[in-house]
């Protein structure tokens, strides 16, 4: 139904407006008696073979919703009804900010891709916490993707990440440090060895002071060189953070068939990112001897795509752009493919 009825209508609308309408429609639908049960039947795959315990967290299945879809914690309960094993919210910053000027989100249907330059638009960490306090379903595994405000200079960026970490600590199951978005000026400079080591070491110090430390992951750009990836591996090992998310959006548009001249700057996601994100997963997995836990994201729009990332060394996967093009049934397709592969190995 999504591909032949909902998607054609939504693709007539501005992508950002279509996103908000879709989320509102889902919220309304799930208030109808029996719909939540129906969604569970349609989209969920409950099987012991899909369950994973990583970082002390019990994931009901390895398919998550990537950050960016639910920036402000407004729809994580609704999205969990689509069969996701975990939901990542954010990127959130200490202060609310509007993000970049609109239009800032573009579809590339012929490339099955998206370009965004949202710019960490969000209501701020205090507003997010108010929503998380009202959550009804405490069983949903939630990751908190944290960033810095645009007005915060890089030399004070650590303060922003610490603020988000401390405020969100009670309300999320794991953290993701986002220094890889291309849409905040200068942010990717924080991926360099010295500032990144300082940032992650400081976060880990605060984390270790907690009674029950939370997993901290680093989300990296797909545009890093092998030498830079080697530095990332060293930083992960030296700081003791818990893993990597591979990858964020890319600035590379060399493989596109769509002319994006009029769209301007922004990060590219979707199918064109598929190969590079998997390549980075494989590189980090092999170089680290499999000691670094990796969440694979980028260009997943089928069960085979997800298996490719898992077989390359990822322990979990996330989707976003694929959901736009394939619809909610994608979660079930991926989980079914993973389950089938596990059964074949037995």
Cα 160 to chain centroid distance, Å, stands at 20
Asked if the model's pLDDT at residue 204 lies above 80, the reply is yes
Name which of 77, 101, 89 is nearest 29 in CA terms: 77
Q: DSSP letters along 54-87, please? A: ETTEEESSSEEEPTTSSTTSSSHHHHHTTT-SEE
What was the pLDDT predicted at 346? Answer: 62
pTM over 0.95: yes
The structural domains of the chain, ordered by start, are 2-345 (3.20.20.70)
Known active-site residue 110: no
**What percent of the chain stands above pLDDT 70?**
100
Q: Radius of gyration of the chain from Cα atoms?
A: 19
CB 246 within 8 A of CB 234: no
Name which of 83, 105, 138 is nearest 13 in CA terms: 105
What was the pLDDT predicted at 83? Answer: 97
Question: Which H or E run contains 240?
Answer: none
pLDDT tens-digit profile of 69-103? Answer: 999 999 999 999 999 999 999 999 999 999 999 99
| Peptide bond connecting 138 to the previous residue in cis, omega within 30 degrees of 0 | no
Asked if the model's pLDDT at residue 342 lies above 90, the reply is no
What was the pLDDT predicted at 343? Answer: 80
SS percent in the chain: helix, strand, coil, step 5:
45, 15, 40
Distance CA 157, CA 307 (A): 36
pLDDT tens-digit profile of 172-190? Answer: 999 999 999 999 999 999 9
Catalytic residue among 180, 181, 269, 277: 181
Name which of 103, 75, 125, 95 is nearest 17 in CA terms: 103
What was the pLDDT predicted at 1? Answer: 81
Q: How many CB atoms lie within 10 A of CB 311?
A: 12
């Amino acid at each position: 139904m999504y591909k032949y009825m909902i998607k054609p209508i939504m693709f007539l609308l501005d992508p950002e407006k279509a996103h908000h309408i879709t989320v509102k429609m889902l919220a309304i639908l799930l208030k109808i008696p029996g719909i939540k049960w129906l969604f569970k039947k349609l989209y969920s795959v409950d099987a012991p073979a899909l369950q994973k315990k990583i970082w002390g967290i019990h994931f009901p299945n390895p398919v998550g919703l990537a950050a960016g879809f639910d920036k402000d914690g407004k729809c994580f309960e609704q999205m969990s009804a689509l069969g996701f094993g975990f939901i990542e919210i954010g990127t959130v910053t200490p202060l609310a900010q509007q993000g970049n000027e609109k239009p800032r989100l573009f579809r590339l249907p012929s490339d099955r891709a998206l370009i965004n330059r949202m710019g960490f638009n969000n209501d701020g960490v205090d507003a997010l916490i108010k929503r998380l306090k009202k959550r009804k379903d405490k069983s949903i595994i939630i990751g908190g993707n944290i960033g810095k405000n645009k007005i915060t200079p890089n030399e004070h960026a650590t303060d922003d990440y610490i603020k988000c970490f401390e405020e969100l600590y009670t309300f999320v199951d794991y953290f993701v440090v986002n220094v890889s978005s291309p849409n905040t000026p200068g942010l990717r400079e924080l991926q360099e060895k010295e500032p990144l080591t300082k940032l992650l070491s400081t976060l880990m110090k605060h984390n270790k002071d907690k009674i029950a430390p939370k997993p901290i992951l680093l989300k990296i750009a797909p545009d890093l060189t092998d030498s830079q990836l080697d530095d990332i591996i060293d930083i992960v090992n030296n700081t003791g953070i818990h893993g990597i998310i591979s990858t964020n959006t890319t600035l590379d548009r060399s493989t596109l068939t769509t002319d994006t001249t009029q769209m301007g700057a922004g990060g590219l996601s979707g199918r064109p990112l598929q190969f590079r994100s998997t390549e980075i997963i494989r590189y980090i997995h092999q170089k680290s001897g499999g000691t670094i836990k990796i969440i694979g994201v980028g260009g997943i729009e089928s069960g085979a795509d997800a298996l490719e990332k898992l077989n390359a060394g990822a322990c979990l996967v996330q989707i976003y752009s694929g959901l736009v093009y394939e619809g909610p049934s994608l979660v079930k397709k991926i989980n079914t493919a993973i389950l089938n592969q596990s059964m074949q190995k037995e």
